[in-house]
Structure 1
Amino acid sequence: MSRLAATDRKGQSIQILIVEDESVIAADIKDCLENLGYTVPAIAVSGEGAITTATALHPDIVLMDIRLKGEMDGIQAAEQIWSRLRIPIIYSTGYSDRYTMERAKATGPFGYVLKPIEERELYVAIETALQRYRLDKELQEREQWLASILRAIGDGVIVVDAASRIKFLNGAAEALTGWRQEEAIGLKAAEIFHIIHEQTQAPLPNPIDIALQTGSLVYLADHTLLRSKLGHTFPIADSAAPFYNDEGTIAGVVLVFRDITERRQAEERNLAIARALQLEDQMVELQQINQIKDDFLNTVSHELRTPLTNIKMAARMLEITLGQRGCLAMETDSIADSTIRYLKVLNDQCSRQLSLVNDLLDLQRLNADAYSIELTTILFQRWLPELVENFRERAQSQQQQLHINLPIDLPPIVSDVSSLSRVLTELLNNAIKYTPRDEHITITISLTVVAQPTPAHSLQMQVCNSGVEIPASEVPHIFEQFHRIPGMDLWRQGGTGLGLTLVKKLVTYLGGSIQVSSQDGQTCFTAELPVRLADAPVPSS
């Protein structure tokens, strides 16, 4: 063959290291290579020398004799050169026995030439080896480039072969599954990719297996959780897509998946904001409805109270007029008796309806936060006996014992006397209504210091009546509007059904609380109210 310009892609002469322990053969091969246009930088005569020279010169190809003198033959030397330096090897040998060839094949050589070496065969072997090396290197670089891209993707990427065995995991997939790539390579996809249903916790079909079976793109259903190697679970979204080889058959599947926890949280936040806005609109609507209701209640209450007041006044005037004419003194007169009875019924019913209307108005004001409070100094030693005196006659007529426990050194209290009067009045009415004969009604007043950031005072007002217990099932409902306990009104005194409701509303409005206890034959209502002390002196006993 004529001399050729054997150069690489950069225009540099291709260098070939000859490893041959026969000097005559080595010289002949060198002449042949140089005649073909290649450069021979050195000739090594042993395996060890070949490794040292290749490391120092890093030639483009090593032409290696299989049989070398010394402890290391050409196959052993070629194996180390390739593993260390990645330099392609072409074997030159006069031996072609099966054992030698099997050993040589195991090292992945780029070609063979048989001795005696023919120039044309040598040229073909070298150019073929160089071309294969370039293609392998380009393929390797392309694979590395693709792997770098996949590793850089923020989503998890898993690549499997046609047998569903793991071939690649990127960093995101490692983090999400808890498996390192070197651990997962070769395992079945189902061993490292476990998905379950969010609600039922039941295992779900693996999308990789479905994609391999159907040959189509597969998306995960909603409410899918990935369970990692460490047992952690989190919501994911993903897709599995098959890829094909040159023959058109499925070569494997690429699975792409991502943690959607943040997206789920963002959706929940947006939903919460939407719900909050909806609730605000509903609140505005409710406020408007409440205002309409309050206005209606005010109007109706006023319209009810005015005629009832007039009827009550008219009945009173009729009673006075009849008395002046002497009709009321005629006790034996049937007409006078009927008139007196009807007037009493009329007065009682008017009073009852007025109480109901007044209670409804007070409840409306308390609910609308429009109830007026006037703080005054209250001397309990003077005020409480006067309040209770109005109930003593009723208690005595029903043979009930009414007691007051009031400390003589209780200091003057600053609070709303109207509200306190209403609370005690309703509680006493309630006690007298439900207390049997020969039982006791006790009013207890006490003052305590409450430990707060700054010391404060709390007024306790307690009304207890003996001989009666409220059923445990009724206690939670005792302050509800119009709630009545069947068979408890011993004296058939009735009422509006709003008394205890008003008590709780008033106590709460004043910043306090009220509890009820009923056991061991006694029922107690205890109200706790924040108060402040006045500067007025304590009256002497």
Structure 2
Amino acid sequence: MKEQEQMDKPLRDLIEIIHFTERVSTKIHGLLDEAEICRVVKEESARSGQYTMSIVLLTDDKSKLKVAEVSLPLQKLKTAEKITGLQLKGFTIDLEKSSFYSQVVEEGKTVQIRFVDIISELFPKPVAHLISKVLGYTEKSSILTPLKRHGEIIGAFSMTSTELADHFIPSVKSLAQHISTALELADEYAERKKMEEALKKSEEKYKSIFENTIDIYYRADLEGNIILVSPSGAELFGYESVEEVIGKNFAKDFYYHPEDREILLRELTKHGSVTNYEVTLKRKDGTPLVGETNSRFVYDQTGKSVGVEGMFRDITKRKKAEKNMQLLSAAIESSHNSIIITDMAGTIIYANKTAEEMAGIPAEIMAGRDIRPLFPDSKRVESMIQEVLEKGYFHKEFKYTDEDGREVWIFNTSALVTDEEGHPLGIVGVTRDITESKKAEEALRESEEKFRGIAERSFDGIYEMDLEGHITYASPAIERITGYKPDELQGDLFQNFAPESALIKGFQALARVVEGEAIKGLQVEMIRKDGTAALVEINISPILKEGKVVGAQGIVRDITERTQAEEMLRQSEEKYKSLVENINVGVYRGVPGGGGQFTDVNQAFVKMLGYDKKEEILNLKVADIYCNSEDREKIREKILGQGFLKNEEITLKRKDGTSIIVSDTGKATYDTDGTILYFDGVLEDITGRKRTEEELERYRHHLEDLVKKRTNALTRTNEQLQQEIADRKLAEESLAAEKERLSVTLRSIGDGVITTDTEGTVVLINKVAERLTGYTQEEAVGLPLHSVFHIISERTRSLCENPVDKVLREGAVVGLGNNTMLIARDGTERIIADSGAPIRDRDSKIIGVILVFRDITEKRKTEQELLRAQKLESLGTLAGGIAHDFNNILTAVLSNTTLAKMYAEDTKVAEKLSKIEKASLQAKELTQQLLTFSRGGAPIKTTTSIAELIRDTASFALRGSNVRCHFYLPEELWHVDIDEGQISQVVNNLIINADQAMPEGGIIKAKAENVNVEEDVLPLDRGNYVKISITDQGVGIPEKYLEKIFDPYFTTKQKGSGLGLSTCYSIVKQHDGYITAESEVGVGTTFYMYLPASQKKREKKVEVGEVIKGEGKVLLMDDEVFVRDAAGETLQYLGYTVVTARDGKEAIDLYQRALDKEPFDVVIMDLTIPGGMGGKEAVSKLIEIDPHVKAIVASGYSTDPIMAEYREHGFKGVVTKPYTIEDLSKTLHGVLKG
């Protein structure tokens, strides 16, 4: 029975594949879209569950096959894509690499082969076997057969199954034939649709031309009845629609002179057609219309004329313009000005009669001659022409001496003549003889000069005005009195400068002057230009002409100077006093003698030195505020020696003992005997600036070192290039004999090389250049360089200049600009560094160009990674300082709040204190983020299970969210040495980001796996790592933002700080790990994190219990008084006796003195004391005194290396600020009992 079944199985399999073939053929029958055909074949194959198929189609250049469709199950497809790192749909197969596909496509064969053998040609064998194993295709075979369209092979169809045998080939070929037929029909359908669309567009185009033409198209029968007319015809002749025009008779309804139509018909009969035939027609309202027509007879199929058709153009405006031109020509000819028109080269086109007379040459002789020799000063004419070409016009008067020696003045106005589009056509110049006018002006000028000289030298203002009050002249002194320049007053009314109170007095005075009376000593107020009022004294006299008053002239004198000076002095004193009190620099006045004494200081001076009241400063000696006597003596000597100070830098002492650096500038005031009465000065706090200058100076030295190194490198490069050029010149002498050797060399070097001729045509391309551009030697030779070497700017995406053009232009070695990107034939983009040089023959003639370039894409990525690390390091310094100070404050807040909560009896007060405590702990988390940036910091590491941390952190972060997290955390995961708090913060950030990316809900996948990094594919040392991935199904990150997400302060969220991911980056880097991300918009984002695996055993966790009270004597050292007070009270609450110290020196002294009496049981020391001895130095000295000392280090710098390795520095315990009472009690208990 089993034997029978085994015999029947091939038959059943054959029948099954035949049914499958018929089913697929039926489904695709009638489909007219290539993509739809491929989709149906794929779906039917997937539905069968037995067969896997693929359709691959030839690319345009027929050198590759592109996967159009493949019917793998989705999960297997994704697995295969993950292994290969490629998307299978759209994947290209190089025919040169696949012998099986080459047989099918190039030879038309149908082949049967194992699936694993096919992909072994496309991928490395280990990868190919892995893909086969994952897909379950290790034992499956494939049948490959051609796909054709119109008899030409266009690709291949493959079917894969475990059951395929040779006798199945006809069925597979049959299915391929059906697919080919369907593709042919789809192609024909697409072509037909394209033709129909083109025909439709053509009809629309000509219809649009007919309906929108400006000229009029018409057709009429032989009797003149209109059969067809364009819409422009109805509009031009005043009709409301085309329908109103159809049927009307040309002779009766349109010809202004009906007999003109008979003349037109005779011309048509004689010549068959007419061109530019002028005719006068009439509009609907009877007004005439002059036009031109191109007309011809229309014939039927027998050759008999059946009508007339043509185009008509309205030339009414042109005819009118021609008439106007005739009038203009007559006016130009009769003008008394010389008018000459030239072309753009200066050749005379036209000259009027006046020009003939001025030049003494007939117009017909001047025409065609150069204008320059007609004038005595040809250079001036040339400059005039150039100015017209540059500006479009020329206006200037100048003089010359004529043949009789007479001085002649002329005024010339020239302008550029352009067409309707603004293109220059020529120059028109108009010249007028102004000799007599200039003589009259000179006589008038001499007369006025005498009067003006007196007026302009007068201290008082002199003015003239007409009878309406318009000012016609004002002397320069008027500006001093009124603030207005004389030309600003010209034509203005005097009342515009007088207040209302003075108007009546002014009008009365003007009325008296009109009657011929002179007025003296009139005092009135006037308004200056700046709006201020002035008191002036005016003398006014009438101006007489032929005995009639025609205006007034007068003298005005400012008599408010003294009053104004007094007022200004008062305002100045008030302004100075206000300025001194409110300026943000210190101002002081001091007197000499007895160490110096301040007599007055401003509020900024008081604040600068840290005092509260001015009286505190005034009670000090000047010498008291100096940090050192040398500065005091230097300033004293300069004041006594030169009487002033300018930007003297000194160090002063503030009230709290701290110092500041100031810049002192001032001047001494002397009595008549030369004795210093007092010294006024200004102090500017430059402490911050000095620190900045020091930083800038260090950075300048750093840059100078970089420049020197770069200069040396460039010098070496230049020498190498010079040597290469010299060697190339020697090599050119034997170019013909060495050509083959040069070709071999170019193809062997590691850089891409392309050589061209002087026309920019590719002559040679080496193997590296073939790989980078995508063109082979055979394809590239003969092509223009820009077709093969397509380069753009990385930043602007604009095309770069052709390097061949640049080399030929400069004739030397050139380098392309930075950020040059090469786009390969397949669209791959690479950043390149390149240079070009001319190729010369033995006569040094350039015969071609050589380009040398290399791919620096990976180098650029490394540089960007380094830049990102430098950004974080720079910001870390600032963040660490801020967080340390903030942690000190939080220590006091948290300790006092906890104590207050314990003492509080009112429940509402206790509730409020709990909220403060909670907020303080949240602030602690924020400072922890800032401290992560701290330069040189090290995590406090313990050996732990990363799986447990991921699970706990993610679950906590997603409480109350509609997003769920699926965990893929194998039990065999390696342990890691990490700071649990910091890595938990990283996972928390990534989970929250994923949650926010899916506001409608979704699934987050949290995975971890053991990996071994061997190759330099990641910026990591080789070794074992735990790889963690967090994947969401959210909106995704656009590609343009992806490389910036780890930059500090970069965020796309409205309320984001931009610290989250940059903090993650810093934490992972400090753990010697690596973090990166990949994303697709609309699909989701995955973050990958690599952490070094640990060989240590996991440490047991110690649970934090309740407050542990104790007893003993504690020495507490901290520089902040509020920390000492808060921590001291907390220690007392815990049962300890407390003694405090401000710095390490004081702590050592107290410890040593207590050693023989009541020694301290434990010492708590702040790690960092600004300006004093900190915990690190102090503990080493305490160990010298007492080797058994029990010291605990405390610091707001939680990432300081000492905090992580405190035992190596002599400490027995560690507590991080801000600490809770539980943290402090637990640490104390552990140290005292340990």
Query: TM-score, normalised on structure 2?
Result: 0.18
Higher relative contact order, chain-length normalized (CA < 8 Å, sep 6+):
1
Report the structure, 1 or 2, having the larger strand content: 2
TM-score where L is the length of structure 1: 0.37
